[in-house]
Chain A
Amino acid sequence: MNRIARYAAVVLVLGLAVVLTLAFARDPHDIKTGTVGKPAPGFALPSLTDGTTVSLDQYQGKIVVLNFWASWCIPCKEENPALTDVWERYRGTDVVLIGVVFQDSADAARDYTARLGNTWASALDGDGRMALSYGVFGPPETYFIGADGIIAGRHIGPIDEQTLMTGIETLRAKSATR
């Protein structure tokens, strides 16, 4: 019995060590939620600028970079130059950048895009339902959707150009081999 208890204690301590190691080794920017690896939830939202509808369906077969942002979000402003560079680089190709306004007024969001000179499409998620369907915690958050419509990855927090490029090129390479 003593021996069994000793073995049980060792197993328990080892188990605890494994759980703690896995927990501390995890990158907090890489929180896996239910949506990564699954089909991207469809959406049809009003465009921020011209009142038309921005929907995921209209970009079928393209690589979509979905960026949740708000004018009150300071880290969103930090990541804007990276988004601008990537947008200029891939404009007119098989890669689309779509901004989604998160918990913000249309006027404030329009003023923000005008001030920063953003020209990519942005959509208004007025009731926050679209963000909930993607499992968004808060802006900025970026999702990479492959040409197959599957969410390949997400990035929580301000994103840099290298991370954007890596995400996009990985999906492009995957599309090329299909």
Chain B
Amino acid sequence: MTATRWIIVAAILAVGLAVAWTARPRPLTAAERVDRISAELRCPVCQGLSVQDSPSETARSMRALVAQRVAEGRTDDEIRAEFVRSYGDWILLSPPLLSASGLVWLAPVAAIVLGAMLAWSRARAPATVPAAAGPTDAELRRLRELVASEPE
């Protein structure tokens, strides 16, 4: 291997290591956890906004409660569960799969499966070419008469 190739390999390795180091799993800070949980909660007085994104007073109260629970040492699941107890699964912007609202996850999958089944059944079905209808007896007779009447 030439020196140039060694340099290229070393550079690729260095980039890979740098990416892996940056993306390594590390514990989140309290503020990052508050941001993450707030981003998963729906603001009850807004139209499709998360608690993280909403400037409303209700969202501020919710965010303060999340911060307090994080400071108390509660886990993310415990904090989410507290809001679900009050507002139901609706309060989560991404509803859990095993719930009534979780049907929204299954609907696209069901549609894709159904579409694939239909496409497969269409592809497998033998092409049905309509049988060519032959001339009727009257038509044959007329043809013979025309041929016979043609001058040689």
Contact = CB atoms under 8 A, between A and B. Distances in A.
B118 interface: yes
Interface residues on B, range: 20 to 34
B87 A4 contact: no
A176 interface: no
A138 B45 contact: yes
Contact of B121 (A2, A34, A128, A132): A2
Interface in A1-25: 1-2, 4-5, 8-9, 12, 19
Residues of B contacting A: mostly: helix
Interface residues of A, number: 26
A32 B85 CA distance: 11
B61 A132 contact: yes
Interface of A: 1-2, 4-5, 8-9, 12, 19, 32-35, 38, 41, 103, 127-129, 131-138
24 contacts: A1-B120, A1-B124, A2-B121, A2-B125, A4-B117, A4-B121, A5-B117, A8-B113, A8-B114, A12-B110, A12-B111, A19-B103, A34-B85, A34-B86, A34-B88, A35-B85, A35-B86, A38-B85, A128-B57, A131-B58, A132-B62, A132-B83, A133-B86, A135-B86
